[in-house]
């Protein structure tokens, strides 16, 4: 009875209703891959997302949610553990896959399972079953976990039943990730997004190729929205919708220039919607800053599970006094063959980025992006022809500024860097102080190994593929350079496996 009373008090807090419900809720965490604030309910033109719109209307829409890293595996690592990936050596993309996570850190599903939750990975209702884990420490999808010999994170795959209650389900919406399915999804859509209606950000040049690529991306967003609708309908069919909380986010920013991999808003600022009929009070719009590690803390709190001391988040729904953040702190480190190190602080008004390797340009000629960003080829050609200007030319610069400062109220697209403007010297120092204080209180392993680290080349296939297709299928490469959206995963058959393996070079 004591625990029932405790949970009843939780349900009476901010964002929740029906305080007489004593049962612990089921929780579903939906993660759309590589997608920014590109939903209809966030104001994105041309796209239709009726199911997520409905979730937002019937639940909570967070306007300022951020990730700890703008790349999938470090971001997912932070969410799975509940704190910055830089604290447990998970900051480099696709690294440490054969190493157990160091003590005292553990995947949060360990605590959920100890609390009696059935943990389920994936869903039969989404593209490719949505079972991606992608953490930078040793894991297995299912099975026991002790962090020594056993590394299973979940109990089962795909299917939830009433007997699984209380359950936690994590589902990845892979369809929005760059892939060979984009053209197919667009061709099969009954209402493909109009290339005339899309609105490109100012740092991407406006051409037929870039418009088509953007429209095809939004087609995958609409496909994903339909998947969300099917999942919610399944809950209703199984009689589980009245005791289930659904959290929807993106794992990092959109898969386009200045998005995924960048510490600008388009790389770290993500959608977040929380829904639960009878549990979540409808129509709430939260303007305060939150991070995805706050979701981890919230889930553990709602489950009545142990909350380890290393959590850097706070429950943001389900408590009487949710604790929001003064700022979001994010980090960018190695991504494939590109060694990089940047840190950012974002408040409600300002964005600060500290580039510790300013010699690495925004267009670093990364092989994966060469294969999967049609706009980069269009813009390189226009730059060579002297036809770029403004934000587009700035993105193609040969280096980055050591510091960036933006007024998000006046300049939401972050086009006017105020870091050298004397009128903002006090603001700049204030933002620097936030970062200095964070570094003083935490051991950032990505800063500790700066200048000594070497990319593990775990995505070496991309560089090999690029080299191979240029050599063996030059006509295909010419089409790619012209900005065509192509099925580049098929290019692997041309990969040059005779390319030298990682020589521990730090030349980028």
Q: Write down the pLDDT at residue 414.
A: 98
Q: Considering only CA atoms, which of 282, 253, 223 is closest in space to residue 61?
A: 282
Average pLDDT of the residues in 54-82 = 98
Q: Write down the pLDDT at residue 317.
A: 87
pLDDT for residue 237 is more than 90: yes
Q: Write down the pLDDT at residue 476.
A: 95
Q: Write down the pLDDT at residue 497.
A: 66
Q: Considering only CA atoms, which of 5, 15, 11 is closest in space to residue 25?
A: 11
Residue 273: its H or E element: strand 269-275
Q: Write down the mean pLDDT value for the chain.
A: 92
Q: Summarize pLDDT for 281-332 with one digit per residue, the tens.
A: 999 999 999 999 999 999 999 999 999 999 999 999 877 789 999 999 999 9
Residue 370: its H or E element: helix 367-372
Task: Please give the C-alpha separations between residue 505 and each of 95, 341, 399, 446, 501, in angstroms, as whole numbers.
Answer: 17, 17, 20, 18, 10
Average pLDDT of the residues in 52-80 = 98
How many percent of the chain have pLDDT more than 90? 88
Q: Write down the pLDDT at residue 320.
A: 77
Quote the pTM value: 0.93
How far is it, in rounded angstroms, from Cα 184 to Cα 39? 21
Concatenated DSSP letters for 76-111? HHHHHHTS-GGGTT--STT--TTSPPPTT---HHHH
Q: Name the band, by pLDDT with cuts 50, 70 and 90, for residue 458.
A: low
How far is it, in rounded angstroms, from Cα 203 to Cα 378? 12
Q: Are 402 and 420 in contact (CB under 8 A)?
A: no
Distance of CA 300 to the CA centre of its chain: 21
Q: Considering only CA atoms, which of 95, 76, 72 is closest in space to residue 446?
A: 95
> What are the beta bridge partners of residue 290?
65
pLDDT for residue 133 is more than 80: yes
Q: Write down the pLDDT at residue 461.
A: 76
Could you tell me how many residues make up the chain? Answer: 508
Q: Name the band, by pLDDT with cuts 50, 70 and 90, for residue 460.
A: confident
Domain ranges of the chain: 2-324, 332-494
The fold for domain 2-324 equals Alkaline Phosphatase, subunit A (3.40.720)
How far is it, in rounded angstroms, from Cα 38 to Cα 35? 7
> HSE on the CB side for 86, CA within 13 Å?
25
Quick one: tokens of 505? Answer: 């070079």
């Amino acid at each position: 009875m004591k625990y029932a009373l405790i949970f009843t008090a939780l349900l009476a807090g901010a964002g929740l209703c029906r305080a007489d419900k004593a049962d612990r809720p089921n929780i579903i965490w939906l993660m759309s891959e590589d997608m920014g604030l590109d939903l209809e309910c966030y104001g994105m033109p041309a796209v239709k997302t009726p199911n997520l719109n409905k979730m937002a209307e019937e639940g909570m829409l967070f306007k300022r949610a951020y990730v700890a890293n703008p790349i999938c595996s470090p971001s997912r690592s932070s969410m799975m553990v509940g704190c910055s990936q830089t604290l447990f050596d998970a900051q480099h993309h696709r690294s440490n896959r054969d190493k157990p996570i160091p003590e005292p850190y553990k995947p949060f599903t360990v605590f959920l399972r100890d609390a009696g939750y059935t943990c389920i990975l994936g869903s039969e209702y989404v593209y490719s079953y949505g079972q991606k884990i992608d953490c930078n420490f040793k894991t297995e999808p299912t099975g026991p976990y002790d962090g020594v010999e056993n590394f299973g994170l979940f109990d089962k795959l795909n299917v939830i039943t009433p007997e699984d209650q209380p359950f936690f389900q994590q589902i990845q919406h892979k369809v929005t990730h760059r892939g060979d399915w984009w053209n197919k999804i667009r061709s099969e859509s009954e209402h493909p997004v109009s290339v005339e209606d899309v609105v490109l950000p100012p740092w991407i040049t406006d051409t037929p190729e870039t418009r088509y690529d953007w429209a095809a991306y939004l087609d995958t967003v609409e496909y994903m929205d339909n998947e969300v609708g099917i999942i919610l309908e399944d809950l209703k069919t199984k009689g589980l919708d009245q005791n289930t909380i659904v959290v929807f986010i993106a794992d990092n920013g959109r898969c386009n220039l200045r998005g995924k991999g960048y510490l600008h808003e388009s790389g770290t600022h993500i959608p977040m919607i929380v829904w639960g009929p009878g549990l979540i009070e409808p129509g709430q719009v939260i303007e305060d800053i939150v991070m995805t590690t706050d979701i981890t803390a919230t889930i553990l709190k709602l489950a009545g599970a142990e909350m380890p001391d290393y959590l850097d988040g706070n429950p943001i729904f389900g408590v009487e006094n949710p604790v929001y953040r003064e700022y979001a702190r994010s980090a960018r480190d190695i991504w494939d063959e590109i060694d990089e190190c940047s840190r950012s602080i974002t408040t409600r008004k300002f964005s600060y980025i500290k580039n510790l390797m300013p010699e690495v340009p925004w267009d670093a000629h990364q092989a994966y992006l060469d294969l999967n960003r049609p706009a980069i080829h269009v813009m390189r050609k226009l730059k060579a022809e002297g036809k770029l200007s403004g934000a587009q030319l700035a993105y193609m610069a040969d280096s980055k500024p050591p510091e960036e400062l933006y007024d998000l109220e006046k300049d939401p697209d972050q086009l006017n860097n105020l870091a050298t403007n004397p009128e903002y010297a006090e603001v700049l120092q204030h933002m620097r102080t936030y970062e200095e204080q964070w570094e003083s209180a935490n051991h950032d392993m990505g800063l500790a190994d700066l200048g000594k680290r070497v990319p593990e080349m775990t995505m070496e296939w991309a560089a090999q593929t690029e080299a191979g297709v240029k050599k063996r299928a030059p006509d295909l490469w010419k089409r790619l350079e012209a900005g065509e959206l192509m099925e580049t995963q098929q290019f692997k058959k041309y990969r040059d496996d005779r390319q030298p393996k990682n020589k521990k070079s730090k030349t980028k």
